Amino acid sequence: MAISLTKGQQISLEKDGGDQLRHMCVGINWGAIEKKSFFGTKKIAVDLDASVGMFSESGKSVGVVYYGDLRSKCGGLTHSGDDLTGDMDGDDGLDNEVIVVNLDRLNPTVGQLAFVLNSFQGHDFKDISFARIRIYEGTPDHVEKIYATFDIANDARFAGSVSMIMGKLSRHNNTWKFTAIGESTRDKKLTETLNTFVQHYM
């Protein structure tokens, strides 16, 4: 059964047999903005961009995987591609963007992975009907087992924010843990959001 994460909560990526999950997907799902008027409800497409920054344990950048660079040089991270609209017809239960993580192929200097979300067109997070992240075993097209889910939007505290630090994977020796962060920032660019991560969440 999947864990419903809260802010600051950590989970160990341990499988039923005791082995650690080494190959996983981090999927992000979001909906359109709904604006009510005299003529009904208008739906506005939302272009969110999921990205992952790779850092050493000291906070040095090792690389970034995002819509403009879909694969890390080491082959440990792969991005499914840019979704420009979100779910226009309501939650279809599928992830709009997926980052595939292969821990065994990561550059050995990587000690932290920062998962962030940026609103490309500057849409306010509080207006987005839903946004969720989930960690699962499988592929972008097939979910085998969900380990954790985390609701990250549709909250008045996100008012005025167009970027968010979703969570991080951190390594201690050869064991990895995921920490749910779910904090919005005032940053407008991916580089700024990753700098905020280094300053406050390393």
Is residue 97 within 8 Å of residue 70, measured between CB atoms? no
- Assigned fold of 3-201: Lipoxygenase-1 (2.60.60)
Q: Name residue 2's beta-bridge partners.
A: none
Q: Which residue has the tokens 């239960």?
A: 93
Q: Annotate 15-37 with DSSP letters as a single string.
A: -TTSPBP-EEEEEEEEB-EEEEE
Instruction: Specify the pLDDT at position 7.
Output: 82
Residues 6+ apart with CB under 8 A from 151: 4, 130, 131, 132
Tell me how far apart the alpha carbons of residues 69 and 92 are, in angstroms, rounded to a whole number.
27
Residues 6+ apart with CB under 8 A from 160: 124, 126, 186
List phi, psi (to 5°) of 24: -145, 170
pLDDT in tens, 120-149: 988 888 888 788 899 999 999 899 999 988
Is 159's pLDDT higher than 80?
Answer: no
pLDDT tier at 68, thresholds 50, 70, 90? very high
Instruction: Specify the pLDDT at position 8.
Output: 84
> What's the predicted TM-score (pTM) here?
0.91
Give residue 194's identity as a one-letter amino acid code: L
Q: Calculate the average pLDDT of the chain.
A: 89
Q: Name residue 25's beta-bridge partners.
A: 100, 136
Region 7-18 average pLDDT:
80
Instruction: Specify the pLDDT at position 129.
Output: 77
- Classify 17 in phi/psi space as left (phi over 0), alpha (psi -120 to 50) or beta: alpha
Residue spans of alpha helices (H) in the chain:
190-201
Instruction: Specify the pLDDT at position 153.
Output: 66
Could you tell me which of 77, 86, 101, 99 has the C-alpha nearest to residue 27? Answer: 99
Is 35's pLDDT higher than 90?
Answer: no
pLDDT in tens, 163-186: 989 999 999 877 899 999 988 888
pLDDT in tens, 74-119: 999 999 999 999 898 878 888 999 999 999 999 999 999 999 999 9
Neighbours of 29 (CB within 10 A): 22
Q: Name residue 11's beta-bridge partners.
A: 178
Residues 6+ apart with CB under 8 A from 172: none
Tell me how far apart the alpha carbons of residues 47 and 63 are, in angstroms, rounded to a whole number.
23
Instruction: Specify the pLDDT at position 1.
Output: 59
Is 154's pLDDT higher than 80?
Answer: no
Looking only at the bridges linking them, the beta strands covering 3-4 and 142-151 are parallel
